[in-house]
A and B are shown apart, each in its own frame.
Chain A
Amino acid sequence: MLIKTSRIVYLLLIIFAASIFIPKYYWMKFEKNIRSPLVYFSPVKNDFLIRSKDPNQVTYVDKAGIKYGRTEFETLMPLLNYRQLTLEGRLPDSLNGVPLILEKIRLNNITLKIYPSEVDYVPIQLFPMFESKSGRVQLEMPNDYFRITKRLEFIDCATNSIGEKKTELFTSYLASKNFSFPAKIISGNPTSKKAFDEGYFVVDSKDNLFHIKMVKGKPFCVNANVPANLEIASMKIMEMPLREFYGMIVTKRNEVYLISYDHYKLIKLPLEGYDHTKHVLTFMGDLFYRTISLVGKNSIHTFVTNRAYKVVDRYTETWNDNDKLTAGVVASYFFPFTLSLSDDTSSVSSFYFKFSGSKAFIGSIILSVIVFFILQKRKIGLSKGWFDLLLVLLTGIFGFLAVSLVKNVDKNLE
Chain B
Amino acid sequence: MDQIYNNSYLFMAIFLLLGIFLPFATIWVIGPFLRPHNPTKEKISTYESGVEPTGDAMVQFNVRYYLFALLFVIFDVETVFLYPWAVAYDNLSSFALIEMVIFVFMLAVGLAYAWKKKVLTWD
The answer to whether A and B come from one shared complex is no
Residues of B at under 8 Å CB distance from A?
none
